[in-house]
Structure 1
Amino acid sequence: MFDSIRRAKLQRAGLSCGKRRLKHQEGDLVDELRTHPAATVAVYAAFFLVLGLLMKMGAAVIPGTVTPQPIAYICMAAIASALVVHLRVALREDVEDNAELALVLGTILLQMAANVAMLDYGNQQSWTGALLVVAMPHAFAPLVLSVILGRRMGLFAAIYSTLLGSMVCVAVNPITYLASSSLIGFLVVLFTKRVRRRNRLFMSGLYIGGVASLFSLLLYEASGTGLGAVSVGRMLGVPLATGMITGLLVGGLLPVIESIFGVTTEISWLELADLNHPLMKRLSIEAPGTYHHSLVVANLSEAAAEAIGANAAMTRVCAYFHDIGKLTKPEYFIENMDPSDNPHDDLTARMSALILIAHVKDGVDLAIKHKLNVSIIDVIEQHHGTSLAWYFYKRALEQKAEMIRLVEQGKSKEDDVPQVSEGVFRYPGPTPQFKESAIISLADAVESASRTLEKPNASRIEALVDDLVMDRMKDGQLDECDLTIADLAKVKASFVKTLLSMMHSRIKYQKAAETSNVSTNLIPKEGSSTPAPAVHDGNTLVMDSPYATGDKKRQGRKPPSAA
């Protein structure tokens, strides 16, 4: 309210447009709940309570099943406690906040509920023995968590959905359940390596359905039960259908899960990499220099992210959008500037710096309006960190020194000497908070600086990259991200390799006129003593190398004689 009153006063005085700049994650209650310890305890408590309820329901779906005794609930609580310890000790980095914790535990509970529902349906259809177990959707939780949070979390889900499921589905043979759930759960994680298209989810479900059908056949054969044609079809068809339906269901639920829990899969990142996005189309038309710069930064960043095992797809997409704030005043940035008309010539160094620094806040504003991914907004905020706009800071110091000199000569007054504060020329930050953001920040600086190199070669590019990375480290821009020294070495090597491939030299070809003149000069004039050029013998291969020096020739082997 007080901000609104202040803006209204400034607007009446002609000092404000009255508009409020959009800000990213400003005092949001949801953000507080994501990391609050009380919310973490509440998620774990709800998990234990729902598990107990599902355990009771699993015993009630089949008549005649003994109601779980207190010792069974104690055993279930022990396994669930082991799950909590495993998460807190070994997978703390994979589950960063309470939203991801709720996703992991909720997915496991959803699979337990689906198992109970399938148990009830199978009992109504008079399914018995191994079919009742193999028909359950054992692949659901491992498939969801493997695609969203990585294969480590997929294996985690496979382990604990097997252990807890054997306690929930007490009406079936526990040995058969453990074997089926562990086999299907672990194999579905194997089949979900680098899922980059949604049809891969269906194919994973198809593969796991085939494995479940084969396992069901083996179990029935080993039991010695007589099988009719109808039983064989059910025995093979039901597990196959369950696997296929699971794959289709996960593919349909992924966008909903991503929206609710604020996570993004690699599939979604690849979909976001479409350069036909309205902001990218605007960038290509209104700021073509920035557009090209963003594409090069994306190539540099993606290669570096691949080198250290970071999320390469996310890095590429975030690099595409990191400079969209320049759309507000594209002509003030050197890559879009007309060389004959520099708008900064008419501005003070402080005003020029403010315009450049403002592109970060303008970018956040545009990203929020276009509902871009939260990680993209984070990268826009962090890609300059709190670094110094060095060129204009130096220019401001020179202007101050010149004004002091005029004061000493009596040509100006002391009140005209400007006050130069380093903080005014620094970006607002924050500094990069995660690997992908830090990589884009470094790639942005490296790409811009590489354009100033004259006759670039490997040693000059390597020295440039080393200096820029060292300067960022000394300035504290990499203090809050989790890049290690080993990671930085790989990132620098990747930058050098990519820049060398982009800035390689080209062969200088002769023009057609020059070539014809050379050919004419080789023909001896009548009466001249100049010998005629040697005639090729048809066997020795002679080639002028554009990379060779002097008159060296390269001879090859004789070609095989014609048949």
Structure 2
Amino acid sequence: YKRRGSLSLLFMLIIFYCVLTSLMITNNILNVYIIPYAMIPIIIRVFLDSRTAFLTHVITVLICSITLRLPYEFILVQLAAGMVAIFSLRELSQRSQLFRTAILVILTYAAVYFAFELITENDLSKLNIRMYTYFALNGVFLLFAYPLLFLLEKAFGFTSNVTLVELSNINNDLLRKMSESVPGTFQHSMQVANLAAEAAIRIGAKTQLVRTGALYHDIGKMENPAFFTENQSGGVNPHKNLSYEQSAQVVINHVTDGLKLAEKHNLPTAIKDFISTHHGRGKTKFFYISWKNEHPGEEPDEERFTYPGPNPFSRETAILMMADSVEAASRSLPEYTEQSISNLVDKIIDSQVDEGYFRECPITFKDISTIKSVFKEKLKTVYHTRISYPELKK
């Protein structure tokens, strides 16, 4: 209810289907069973959630049934088809999924209507074969949901899984440019994406959203590649010529630069959220602590060392913040043992919890505990020790 786009979409769909049904009945145009009512729960399931999709479908079907001569039959068939559509389409990321859903909806229509006819008719020769033709046409029209999803996404400001899958293709312009100009950051982003996606699967968060957000969270580093250690080569560190405040500002700017790049390349708002929140309102600790060590007894200008934020406000952005910090810190471990990796993960995530970064997002202590165990497992696998191959004795 807080999002105007979501509310507008719900009302538009309900009103459109009610008006269309009324016009077809009033003017005796074809048959209402040609109308793909199952498209309503599919669209809402993709953009919102299953519960909203089911309730909207029920309301629409009940209103439309008022105009019909046989409303009970209509309600029974449409509700069954709607439920099958919702449960067969958990996450739309491929065109083949929609085709499978259309087949299942046709079969549901046919099965439920056939059962209804067996109750009301005594003679199988009196079955209404024409209705099954209408159901087949209904399934064909249901396939038009795919192009319609693209139009609704742009019109109402949603981000579907199909778009996220397209954006996560590393051959698209922005990610390819990133792999060429900041290869170290690109590799870091790939590792973070793997960590975050695995954690999202375990706690039931939106996996594809986290994976895509992780790939883009550091795109701002393309503006000043050499100022970030993962892209430095030959031991040259440009920070040596800057004060701690200046260095902090260059590092902090990768968030604002990232948002500008995202705006320039028309990335969805959902991806921009990962760019702005992956450091939250945290500090550039290396430069902040270094400044304090050099100026004992003095207090620095906190804002000059603090990221613009905001702090994470969803489970997905919280997962990315944890994965980003853990992956970056893991590269500085002197040795990779089970104990050192476990201590590192606990230390970093516990400090983030203590500093209050997750107060504004609906993540639980149980989720955080699960995420920790996922990170430990994955990092042990990434930094596993290899056996040394023996030399052939001559």
Say if 1:133 and 1:172, in contact at 8 Å, map to a contact too.
Answer: no
Match of 1:159 in 2: 58
What is the CA–CA distance in structure 1 between the aligned matches of 2:269 and 2:326, rounded to whole Å?
25
Say if 1:139 and 1:184, in contact at 8 Å, map to a contact too.
Answer: yes
Match of 1:108 in 2: 14
What is the CA–CA distance in structure 2 between the aligned matches of 1:397 and 1:225, rounded to whole Å?
90
**Counterpart code for 2:160:** T
Match of 1:423 in 2: 303
| Correspondence 1:296 to 2:173 | no
Question: Residue 238 of structure 1: CA displacement?
Answer: 1.2
What is the CA–CA distance in structure 2 between the aligned matches of 1:154 and 1:496, rounded to whole Å?
37
| Correspondence 1:244 to 2:150 | no
Match of 1:347 in 2: 242
Deviations 1:4-46 (A, max 9, x none): xxxxxxxxxxxxxxxxxxxxxxxxxxxxxxxxxxxxxxxxxxx
Deviations 1:24-70 (A, max 9, x none): xxxxxxxxxxxxxxxxxxxxxxxxxxxxxxxxxxxxxxxxxxxxxxx
What is the CA–CA distance in structure 2 between the aligned matches of 1:245 and 1:141, rounded to whole Å?
12
C-alpha distance 157-323 of structure 1, shift in aligned 2 (>3 A)? same
C-alpha distance 372-133 of structure 1, shift in aligned 2 (>3 A)? closer
Say if 2:274 and 2:317, in contact at 8 Å, map to a contact too.
Answer: yes
Corresponding residue SS for 1:464 = helix
Question: Residue 174 of structure 1: CA displacement?
Answer: 2.1
What is the CA–CA distance in structure 2 between the aligned matches of 1:397 and 1:192, rounded to whole Å?
55
Question: Residue 232 of structure 1: CA displacement?
Answer: 5.3
Question: Could you tell which deviates more after superposition, 180-189 or 304-313?
Answer: 180-189
What is the CA–CA distance in structure 2 between the aligned matches of 1:152 and 1:419, rounded to whole Å?
52
Say if 2:84 and 2:104, in contact at 8 Å, map to a contact too.
Answer: no
Question: Residue 124 of structure 1: CA displacement?
Answer: 4.2
What is the CA–CA distance in structure 1 between the aligned matches of 2:71 and 2:122, rounded to whole Å?
19
Which residues in structure 2 correspond to 1:133-532 (within 5 Å)? 134-167=33-66, 169=67, 171-224=68-121, 233-246=129-142, 248-401=143-296, 420-511=300-391, 515-517=392-394
What is the CA–CA distance in structure 2 between the aligned matches of 1:136 and 1:423, rounded to whole Å?
58
**Counterpart code for 1:109:** I
Say if 1:206 and 1:244, in contact at 8 Å, map to a contact too.
Answer: no
Say if 1:283 and 1:324, in contact at 8 Å, map to a contact too.
Answer: yes
**Counterpart code for 1:236:** Y
**Counterpart code for 1:446:** V
Deviations 1:470-523 (A, max 9, x none): 111222211211111111111111111111111111111112xxx224xxxxxx
Question: Residue 237 of structure 1: CA displacement?
Answer: 1.1
What is the CA–CA distance in structure 2 between the aligned matches of 1:323 and 1:299, rounded to whole Å?
15
Say if 1:111 and 1:137, in contact at 8 Å, map to a contact too.
Answer: no
Say if 1:213 and 1:237, in contact at 8 Å, map to a contact too.
Answer: no
Question: Residue 118 of structure 1: CA displacement?
Answer: 4.1
Question: Residue 189 of structure 1: CA displacement?
Answer: 1.6
What is the CA–CA distance in structure 1 between the aligned matches of 2:277 and 2:121, rounded to whole Å?
65
C-alpha distance 223-133 of structure 1, shift in aligned 2 (>3 A)? farther
What is the CA–CA distance in structure 2 between the aligned matches of 1:425 and 1:331, rounded to whole Å?
20
Corresponding residue SS for 1:516 = coil
What is the CA–CA distance in structure 2 between the aligned matches of 1:232 and 1:161, rounded to whole Å?
26
Question: Residue 280 of structure 1: CA displacement?
Answer: 1.1
Say if 1:145 and 1:154, in contact at 8 Å, map to a contact too.
Answer: yes
What is the CA–CA distance in structure 1 between the aligned matches of 2:12 and 2:201, rounded to whole Å?
31
Question: Residue 332 of structure 1: CA displacement?
Answer: 0.7
Higher Rg of the two aligned structures? 1
Say if 1:198 and 1:251, in contact at 8 Å, map to a contact too.
Answer: yes
C-alpha distance 112-485 of structure 1, shift in aligned 2 (>3 A)? same
Question: Residue 211 of structure 1: CA displacement?
Answer: 2.4
Say if 2:78 and 2:109, in contact at 8 Å, map to a contact too.
Answer: no
What is the CA–CA distance in structure 1 between the aligned matches of 2:32 and 2:238, rounded to whole Å?
73
What is the CA–CA distance in structure 1 between the aligned matches of 2:33 and 2:115, rounded to whole Å?
12
C-alpha distance 115-458 of structure 1, shift in aligned 2 (>3 A)? farther
How many residues align structurally? 394
Question: Residue 117 of structure 1: CA displacement?
Answer: 4.1
The TM-score normalised by the length of structure 2 is: 0.93
Aligned alpha-carbon RMSD (Å): 2.3
Question: Residue 172 of structure 1: CA displacement?
Answer: 1.8
Deviations 1:515-547 (A, max 9, x none): 224xxxxxxxxxxxxxxxxxxxxxxxxxxxxxx
Structure 1 unmatched runs, 5+: 1-94, 126-131, 405-417, 518-563
The TM-score normalised by the length of structure 1 is: 0.66
C-alpha distance 259-225 of structure 1, shift in aligned 2 (>3 A)? farther
What is the CA–CA distance in structure 1 between the aligned matches of 2:70 and 2:209, rounded to whole Å?
44
Say if 1:142 and 1:155, in contact at 8 Å, map to a contact too.
Answer: yes
Say if 1:387 and 1:427, in contact at 8 Å, map to a contact too.
Answer: yes
What is the CA–CA distance in structure 2 between the aligned matches of 1:494 and 1:178, rounded to whole Å?
45
C-alpha distance 244-207 of structure 1, shift in aligned 2 (>3 A)? farther
What is the CA–CA distance in structure 1 between the aligned matches of 2:263 and 2:378, rounded to whole Å?
32
What is the CA–CA distance in structure 1 between the aligned matches of 2:292 and 2:86, rounded to whole Å?
60
**Counterpart code for 1:110:** F
Deviations 1:382-432 (A, max 9, x none): 11111111111122223335xx9xxxxxxxxxxxxx973233111111111
What is the CA–CA distance in structure 2 between the aligned matches of 1:496 and 1:332, rounded to whole Å?
29
What is the CA–CA distance in structure 1 between the aligned matches of 2:227 and 2:197, rounded to whole Å?
28
What is the CA–CA distance in structure 2 between the aligned matches of 1:419 and 1:143, rounded to whole Å?
56
Deviations 1:350-374 (A, max 9, x none): 1111111111111111110111111
What is the CA–CA distance in structure 1 between the aligned matches of 2:24 and 2:144, rounded to whole Å?
15
Structure 2 unmatched runs, 5+: none
Which structure has more RCO (C-alpha within 8 Å, separation ≥ 6)?
A: 2
